[in-house]
Structure 1
Amino acid sequence: MTMTPLKNRYHDAPRAADFTIDQAWGTYTADEHDRWDRLFRRQREIARNRACEAALQAMNELELSASGIPHMGELSDKLEKITGWRVVPVAELVPDEVFFEHLANRRFPAGAFIRPEAEFDYLQEPDIFHDIFGHVPLLANPVFADFMEAYGKGGQRAMQLGQLHNLARLYWYTVEFGLIREEGGLRIYGAGILSSPQETVFALEDDSPNRIAFDLQRIMRTKYIIDDFQQTYFVIDSFDALLDACYKDFGNVYQEVKDADDIEAHETTSQDGLIHRGTFDYFRTKAGL
């Protein structure tokens, strides 16, 4: 699934001190707007009955649609009225300290470029579709919005303590690849799943991956893979429960996990709240085993 990413259209755009750029919305081509529309229509249909209710409701409230690439300023004006968050355009992934500073101040840095047609189904670096379709809707949920602000402030603290790798795992297994229990069963809230048609189905319906109840220290010890479907997904009971578990100084938590062994992405432990033990059939087949 790996490929060399193409240079995006904003690569040489002037950047402010906080790495934000001018989205220059009027310069998107008709083909780029059409690409957004096709991505949106496909993923909205696949996400139906699979995405969490909060995400689906927010897409309607924010008026996300298959009508061209969103203007981040206009989208921010709607979002800010709901939770005080804004979406700010950037050219590409920003340095960690810049990312945390934005989150701590209720700004979400979103890539302004849209993937080229050659990378329609998969790309390595998050583009505007991943960031806006995947991340922005839940920023309209007051509890999740508070969690993201707390994460930004926690990131600043983790950098001071040299524990950023532990905190990055929390982001990966929640914000990017998290599942949540709802009345109809497990649903998706992680943006990395929500913006991927293949992983949307895989995360919920394939027998291959483990599905394990959320445990903060367990997650901070767990490695992850970046170039394939996840071998383990962690499940929260609610956004309130996620915020309650994480709305604190992680100093003591870092001390407890600092000397503990890392857990491989596919492993389970005797302490896990195991919801589903994966068969790993997908991964074995791919490896030719």
Structure 2
Amino acid sequence: MDTQFAKNRYHGAPRAADFTIDQAWDTYSAAEHDRWDRLFRRQKEVTKGRACAAALEAMEALELSPSGIPHMGRLSDRLEKITGWRVVPVAELVPDEIFFDHLANRRFPAGAFIRPEEEFDYLQEPDIFHDIFGHVPMLANPVFADFMEAYGKGGQRAMKLGQLHNLARLYWYTVEFGLIQETDGLRIYGAGILSSPQETVFALEDESPNRIGFELKRLMRTDYIIDDFQQTYFVIPSFEALLETCYQDFGDVYGEVKGLPDYAAHEIAPGDEVITRGTLDYFRKGGRKGL
């Protein structure tokens, strides 16, 4: 985190009780606006034929373009008319209870800083490009927007039950790194993939990772990788099916998985719907460390 703070000019900025800050849009430099434009053009090209239809359609509806870093207030005005969500600027990752409160009230906290030039290709912390290009388009899909609100409310309950680690895996393997089965094949909806040119290709086309049908309890028992491509991607059949998972009593689900052993991120489990059994070659070669 210290590295991020050193490069993030919003660190130390005045913040409200809900950790929101003033985006101070007029203080972005010409170089920062140009960086957004280059990131946007590259990723828009890479996601053609790979991003899910909902994400591509939403980018047009929200008027996302390579015309400088978006003003979150104006972007929110467009988004709110579609699904009632707003995007609120924050300096960095916010505490869990604050994050869940924002989601439960249809507010998405987005990092206001943009990555430095030296981290143009890969940034571990979420910046404004990751949050707006990756997350915001999906919030314009009414079903996914409902899922995100339900997730926020579920997070508040999970904290009280001491099961946040299980629920966090749901977010990771769907909101950040989820795939969906569409008529023309697998497509991407997870923000961590949508905002990464390398993982956009890897998640769909590389032979290394497993691709497994979504099953809630199995997913909640699965570890994940934070600083590299995923070893396993879970595939949902539809956003309606994903939303339906949040309309059940998670207390019962937590009760069923509590005390059971976790699955390693690369592991195929009994009963899995295996769409693609990965070779795991990328990881055997050391992943990013082996590049």
TM-score class, shorter: over 0.9
**Alpha-carbon distance between aligned partners in 2 of 1:49 and 1:123, rounded to the nearest angstrom:** 24
- Count of residues in Structure 1 that have an aligned counterpart in Structure 2: 287
Q: Is it true that 1:26 corresponds to 2:26 in the alignment?
A: yes
CA-atom RMSD in angstroms: 1.3
Conservation of the 8 A alpha-carbon contact between 1:89 and 1:109: yes
Conservation of the 8 A alpha-carbon contact between 2:134 and 2:195: yes
Q: Which residue of 2 aligns with 1:117?
A: 117
Conservation of the 8 A alpha-carbon contact between 1:208 and 1:279: yes
Letter in 2 for 1:201: V
Kindly provide the CA deviation profile for residues 8-33 of structure 1, in whole angstroms up to 9, marking residues without a partner as x.
01001100000000000000000000
Letter in 1 for 2:153: K
Q: Is it true that 1:193 corresponds to 2:193 in the alignment?
A: yes
Letter in 1 for 2:49: N
Conservation of the 8 A alpha-carbon contact between 1:88 and 1:107: yes
Kindly provide the CA deviation profile for residues 220-273 of structure 1, in whole angstroms up to 9, marking residues without a partner as x.
000001011000000000000100122233000000000111000000112101
Q: Which residue of 2 aligns with 1:238?
A: 238
Kindly provide the CA deviation profile for residues 78-111 of structure 1, in whole angstroms up to 9, marking residues without a partner as x.
0000000000000000000000000000000000
Letter in 1 for 2:272: D
How do 1:47-126 and structure 2 match up within 5 A? 47-126=47-126
Q: Which residue of 1 aligns with 2:37?
A: 37
**Alpha-carbon distance between aligned partners in 1 of 2:51 and 2:173, rounded to the nearest angstrom:** 16
Q: CA deviation at 1:188?
A: 0.2
Identity of aligned residues (%): 80
**Alpha-carbon distance between aligned partners in 2 of 1:249 and 1:14, rounded to the nearest angstrom:** 39
**Alpha-carbon distance between aligned partners in 2 of 1:203 and 1:131, rounded to the nearest angstrom:** 19
Instruction: Determine helix, strand or coil for the equivalent of 2:38.
Output: helix
Instruction: Determine helix, strand or coil for the equivalent of 1:59.
Output: helix
| TM-score of the pair, normalised by structure 1 | 0.97
How do 1:253-264 and structure 2 match up within 5 A? 253-264=253-264
Kindly provide the CA deviation profile for residues 150-200 of structure 1, in whole angstroms up to 9, marking residues without a partner as x.
000000000000000000000000000000000110000000000000000
Letter in 1 for 2:64: L
**Alpha-carbon distance between aligned partners in 2 of 1:179 and 1:125, rounded to the nearest angstrom:** 21
| TM-score of the pair, normalised by structure 2 | 0.97
Structure 2 unaligned segments of length 5 or more: list them: none
Q: CA deviation at 1:7?
A: 2.9
Conservation of the 8 A alpha-carbon contact between 1:147 and 1:247: no
